[in-house]
């Protein structure tokens, strides 16, 4: 085999296939089409004279030869990345792989445009891929990908992640202006009304506010559960339910039929954080990424 004829992009395809065990998922992560990834796999099979990955239970299963190559190829790619991007001065323009951000859609609504502007300003034009938030905080992606971060609260953060606080936040109530509760807005009116719960991670049909209310021997009537903060305004307007949501989401409400009211109980505030894997805590590329993202998220709301 003549090493000078090897397309180094094939090594990246091998690396991602070994982690994802799926052509579809690998294509999404690489920013390529599925046929392009399949073609790269065919070229790898010819080059290395091995099937490398075969279909099995749970996805593409690596052959023994492929398993033996995973470590060396991973090390080689990391060495090349460090040489090209990881010196004292990071050149964002050289970053071409997708930047992966795991978050609720709230962060996309509030900060998506700011993040794109921040990357453009430093010359980075890599694709930005947002992934839905999960109870694991995207920890597996953070571990394997230096170009990945998670943006959310610290409430359920698993071990093995580093974090940096961005800003404090509190809950407010988004209500239709003609809602009967607005005539005498107090705790009793709030608890007796029907509520829209936004649960971006899924799971329990109650949020952290409901856990806190239970500690006070209180409860509210949850009637509708959605994973999307972006749909909150439309749902409140069309259903008459009350949505208790982060205050920043209501600052952009231009619907004259909706009003923002204070939460009629002194519930705990919370904070937004940027998370990354402790594996890349000292990595210069990941450090550049999290500093860029933190700066974009930290812009005052009234400057947007």
Phi, psi of 33 (to 5 degrees): -80, 160
Predicted confidence (pLDDT) per residue in 19-43, tens digit: 888 999 889 888 889 999 999 999 9
* Rg, C-alpha atoms of the chain: 23
Beta bridge partners of 175: 259
pLDDT, average across residues 185-211: 85
**Same-fold call for 3-85 versus 92-168+271-303:** no
CATH top-level class of 3-85: mainly alpha
Reply yes or no on whether the pLDDT at 86 is more than 60.
no
171-268 classified as CATH 3.40.50.2000: no
Predicted confidence (pLDDT) per residue in 222-234, tens digit: 999 988 888 888 9
CA distances (Å), 159 to each of 45, 108, 144, 215, in order? 38, 25, 16, 26
Contacts 24+ apart (CB under 8 A), 63-71: 66/14, 66/18, 69/14, 70/15, 70/18
Residue given tokens 């990357």 in the structure block: 119
Question: What crossing angle do the helices spanning 105-121 and 284-297 adopt, rounded to 10°?
Answer: 110
The CATH architecture of the domain made up of 92-168+271-303 is 3-Layer(aba) Sandwich (3.40)
Confidence of residue 135 (pLDDT cuts 50, 70, 90): confident
Reply yes or no on whether the pLDDT at 118 is more than 60.
yes
pLDDT for 30? 85
Predicted confidence (pLDDT) per residue in 72-82, tens digit: 888 788 777 66
Predicted confidence (pLDDT) per residue in 253-288, tens digit: 778 899 999 999 999 899 999 999 999 998 889 999
Predicted confidence (pLDDT) per residue in 286-304, tens digit: 999 999 999 999 986 545 5
pLDDT, average across residues 56-63: 86
pLDDT for 296? 96
pTM score of the predicted model: 0.72
Mean residue pLDDT of the chain comes to 88
Give the residue extent of every domain in the chain: 3-85, 92-168+271-303, 171-268
Phi, psi of 49 (to 5 degrees): 55, 45
């Amino acid at each position: 085999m003549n090493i000078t004829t090897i397309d180094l992009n094939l090594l990246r395809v091998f690396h991602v296939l070994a982690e994802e065990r799926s052509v579809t998922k690998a294509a999404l992560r690489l920013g390529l089409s599925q046929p392009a990834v399949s073609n790269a796999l065919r070229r790898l099979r010819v080059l290395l004279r091995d099937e490398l990955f075969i279909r099995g239970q749970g996805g593409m299963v690596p052959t023994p030869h492929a398993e033996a190559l995973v470590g060396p190829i991973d090390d080689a790619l990391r060495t090349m990345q460090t040489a090209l991007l990881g010196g004292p001065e990071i050149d964002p323009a050289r970053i071409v792989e997708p930047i992966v951000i795991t978050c609720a859609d709230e962060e996309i609504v509030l900060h998506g445009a700011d993040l794109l502007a921040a990357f453009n300003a430093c010359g980075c034009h890599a694709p930005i891929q947002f992934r839905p938030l999960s109870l694991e905080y995207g920890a597996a992606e953070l571990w394997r990908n230096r170009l990945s971060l998670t943006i959310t609260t610290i409430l359920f953060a698993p071990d093995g992640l580093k974090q940096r606080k961005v800003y404090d936040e509190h809950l407010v109530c988004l209500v239709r202006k003609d809602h009967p509760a607005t005539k005498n807005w107090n705790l009793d009116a709030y608890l007796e009304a029907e509520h829209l719960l936004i649960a971006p991670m899924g799971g329990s049909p109650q949020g952290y506010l409901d856990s806190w209310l239970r500690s006070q021997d209180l409860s509210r009537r949850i009637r509708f559960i959605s994973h999307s903060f972006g749909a909150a305004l439309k749902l409140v307007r069309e259903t008459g339910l009350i949505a208790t949501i982060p205050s920043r989401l209501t600052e952009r409400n231009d619907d004259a039929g909706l009003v923002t009211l204070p939460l009629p109980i002194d519930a705990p505030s919370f904070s937004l954080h940027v998370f990354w894997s402790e594996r890349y805590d000292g990595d210069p590329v990941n450090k550049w990424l999290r500093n860029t993202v933190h700066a974009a998220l930290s812009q005052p709301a009234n400057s947007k």
